[in-house]
Structure 1
Amino acid sequence: MMRFLHMTALTLAITLVAGCAVNRSATASGAPLARQVTESDHCGLTAPGLVYISNASELDKLGRLPSGNLAMKKLRGLDLEQEHLVLVGLGQKPTGGYGLTLESAEIADNVLELTLNVRKPALDAMVTQALTTPCAIIAITPEDWKQLRVSGMGMDTITRPR
């Protein structure tokens, strides 16, 4: 009987510890898993999607996007050893008033899940009458996940391995 109680207690303890390790919303040091660095109405990506940036040469390619209007000086100031970047684009839109903001980030079962808030203009809103390519650039932790998933109401879910 005592052996059964010990085994039950051990099983419960392992389950609790594993449950705590499965979902996280901060790094081991307490830093956020993700933070929005900047956004732009004109990123230059005409199709919806994401660009993953983990080193300086990939960041240089981002700076060469046609019609891109990104804060490259700010992005080059980041330590890409500590944080990687994810550019999430909505694709080409017919007017101004569209955008993306980071809502939440969580690691669950080796997946870094970024949830974004997709902004679009109200039907009666006064907006610029110009084609736009809105995006958000998010700094993320490069550790403790194997797959990235980006989603939000009004956009397709995008996944990619690290």
Structure 2
Amino acid sequence: MSGWWKTLGRGLALAVWLVPGADAALGGGVPFREPVWMMRGSQCGPAEPTAVRVPADGSDATGFDLSGLEVQEAQGTGTLVAIGGGTRSTGGYRLALDESAVTRQGRTLRVRVTVRAPPEDAMVTQALTRPCGVLRLPEGGGLDRAEVRLGERTWRFPLGAEP
């Protein structure tokens, strides 16, 4: 192999070794679990879009009625956040994570939630609804806070034990 091929090979090996190291120094490079919907419903959120942390003692989150929701994913640990999509004119609306909605910037987990409308041809109830859900945010992996974005609003929460 000629001299410049050896130099190029060593340079590539160094780059492959350094880039993950730099990412880890910024809080990246450590895998994290995706957020999981614990429960979702159509009549449990407040009238305005909002997000609040669910207390660890299991008591209701302020402004939410979570008593009638069926738990979808009970296993695991993490910080629970109740998210409400605000009042909607018909049934069929639901909360969903956007495509590529979960990103990491340093020690912050960023989650983007949207309110999905029912299909145009769907038969829906003619009643005011307030879609909501409880999202379990992962802890650990070098993360210490989360930002939850719904529409133009953003809420920030510490991850882990309650402050």
TM-score with structure 1 setting the length: 0.67
Give per-residue Cα distances to partners, 1:36-69, cap 9 Å, x unaligned. 112100113211011112511xx31239845863
Residue aligning to 1:105 = 102
Partner SS for 1:33: coil
Conserved? CA contact 1:44–1:65, under 8 Å: yes
The letter for the 2-side match of 1:90 is: G
1:16 corresponds to 2:17: no
Query: What is the aligned residue count?
Result: 142
Of 129, 135, 138, which residue of structure 1 is paired with 2:132? Answer: 135
Give the whole-Å Cα distance in 1 for the aligned partners of 2:128 and 2:66. Answer: 11
Give the whole-Å Cα distance in 2 for the aligned partners of 1:66 and 1:18. Answer: 44
1:161 shift after superposition: 3.6
Q: Aligned ranges for residues 69-108 of structure 1 at < 5 Å?
A: 69-71=68-70, 74=71, 82-103=77-98, 104-108=101-105
- Per residue, is there more helix in 1 or in 2? 1
Partner SS for 1:16: helix
Higher Cα radius of gyration: 2
Partner SS for 1:96: coil
Runs of 4 or more consecutive aligned structure 1 residues displaced over 6 Å after TM superposition: none
Q: Which segments of 5 or more consecutive residues in structure 2 lack a partner in the other structure?
A: 1-6, 159-163
Using the aligned pairs only, state the percent identity: 23
Conserved? CA contact 1:94–1:131, under 8 Å: yes
Conserved? CA contact 1:42–1:68, under 8 Å: no
The letter for the 1-side match of 2:79 is: H
Residue aligning to 1:156 = 152
Q: Aligned ranges for residues 32-71 of structure 1 at < 5 Å?
A: 32-56=33-57, 59-62=58-61, 65=64, 69-71=68-70
RMSD (Å) for aligned C-alpha atoms:
3.4
The letter for the 2-side match of 1:22 is: G
Bigger mean CA offset, 135-144 vs 43-52: 135-144
